[in-house]
Structure 1
Amino acid sequence: MLTEAVTGYCFHFNVYKGKRYDPTPAGELQGSYVVISLLRAACLLNKWYHVFCDSFFTSLSLAKRLLNLHTYTTGTVRSNRPLPNLIKSVKLRASQSMFMRQQEILVCAFKEKEKRKNVKMLSTRYNAELVVNRKPKMITEYNKFMGGVDLNDMLTSFYEDGRKSTKMWKKIVFNIIHRMVINAYILYQQNSDNAKSRLHFIQLLIDDLSEDHMTRNRVNIGVLNDEINNQNLRKLPERKEKDCCICSVRNVPGVEKVET
């Protein structure tokens, strides 16, 4: 999923259908293929936007390809990915960091606390700048702008109407509709001075979308009632009916039935 970092607005997403239907081209990492495919589908390449990725997607090859496509990237890197050996094996103390640069790509190893492992990151946008508590700036910026996907998922989980018995294709369709509503609400917040809660916005949206359908139903019901009223209706003749000799009990009030 490709989202805006601050608001969680969803630009594009792909539903993974398995290796059989979503094959990765030979010689290419799946994470790199997904990132570039999403950016290309959203028409966001070659505009010098900045993409933040987690360790599943980030790699040196992805950073180089995005630079060639005029796009910055920052993200954490797994230890089993190609990195300088010194970055992988360096022993750091708490609040210590180490940087290495290869042209526009900056690689960093940082240890926040004594009992934690080193965090390895790369960036094509930041330099070896340290900020609060001697933490590299690329790490503070990563923590700041990496939550767009999680924010969108959290917003989708609110007012969830999923059921275990619902078929998978229906769950996917409902999930897409939820994300469409979230995008609409984000755009409304950005372009309107009339503040509304998300629940109120959804209620107004439902009323607006169903207005034509409800109006047609009311008209049809009115026509049907007129047709019934214009017919010659007559009541059945009143007559005294005998109680059922099997079900009725004369001595008990209320246990008298006309028929079984």
Structure 2
Amino acid sequence: EGREKKGHSLFMNNFYNSVTLTRDLLKNGTYCTGTLQSKREGNPKEVVDKKLKKGEYVVRYTDDGIGVCKWRDKRDVLSISSEFSGEMKKTTNEWGQEKTKPEMIIEYNKNMKGVHRQDQMLAYYPITHKSVRRYKKMG
């Protein structure tokens, strides 16, 4: 409430994201970029079903400018963006190695890096009980 039509950029993982959600957010003035589950309803079949070799990619755009991209690195990566293109761009990793990736994946990785790191760190310390009540028997 009150944040729509401001041109914000939202990044999310495949648990929440879909073509329908991205379209609804774009209608409300919010850009969305993230990964997609391949079985999600509304995904373009010609992208999801395409067999790719390492380094290959395919991208399709809807009439309202939402891009769905499938790129093969070590495994297939399916992504969606209403802000960034599926155009291949050069990027460097933390060891200075140059690699070519779709722009939407570069931006997703740049903006979600801290979130994934936090999830990784929290996984080391599983919380089984949020709080434990202890009672001492009287009498």
Amino acid of the structure 2 residue aligned with 1:59: S
Identical aligned residues as a percent: 31
The number of aligned residues is 120
> Given the alignment of the two structures, is residue 95 of structure 1 paired with residue 55 of structure 2, yes or no?
yes
Q: Is the 8 A contact 1:96 1:111 kept in 2?
A: yes
Give the Å deviation of 1:166. Answer: 2.7
Aligned to 1:52: 11
Kindly indicate which of the two structures has a greater share of residues assigned to helix. Answer: 1
Give the Å deviation of 1:151. Answer: 5.4
Residue correspondence of structure 1 range 242-257 to structure 2 within 5 A? none
Stretches of structure 2 lacking an aligned partner (at least 5 in a row): 91-98, 134-139
> Given the alignment of the two structures, is residue 83 of structure 1 paired with residue 49 of structure 2, yes or no?
no
Residue correspondence of structure 1 range 137-156 to structure 2 within 5 A? 137-150=103-116
Flag the 1:128–1:69 CA change in 2: closer, same or farther, 3 A.
same
Flag the 1:164–1:105 CA change in 2: closer, same or farther, 3 A.
closer
Question: Deviations 1:82-125 (Å, cap 9, x if unpaired)?
Answer: 21111111111111110101121011000013xx2x11111000
Kindly indicate which of the two structures has a greater share of residues assigned to strand. Answer: 2
Cα distance between partner residues in 2 of 1:141 and 1:46: 21
Question: Deviations 1:197-225 (Å, cap 9, x if unpaired)?
Answer: xxxxxxxxxxxxxxxxxxxxxxxxxxxxx
Aligned to 1:122: 80
- Which of 134, 140, 151 in structure 1 is aligned with 2:100? 134
| Higher CA-based Rg | 1
Flag the 1:163–1:128 CA change in 2: closer, same or farther, 3 A.
closer
Q: Is the 8 A contact 1:105 1:123 kept in 2?
A: yes
Residue correspondence of structure 1 range 38-49 to structure 2 within 5 A? 40=1, 43-49=2-8
Runs of 4+ displaced beyond 3 Å? 147-155, 162-165
> Given the alignment of the two structures, is residue 166 of structure 1 paired with residue 126 of structure 2, yes or no?
no
Cα distance between partner residues in 1 of 2:130 and 2:59: 52
Amino acid of the structure 1 residue aligned with 2:46: L
Flag the 1:61–1:164 CA change in 2: closer, same or farther, 3 A.
closer
Cα distance between partner residues in 2 of 1:68 and 1:150: 28
TM-score, normalised via structure 2 length? 0.74
The root-mean-square deviation of aligned C-alpha atoms, in Å, is 2.6
TM-score, normalised via structure 1 length? 0.41
Give the Å deviation of 1:131. Answer: 1.3
SS at match of 1:147: helix
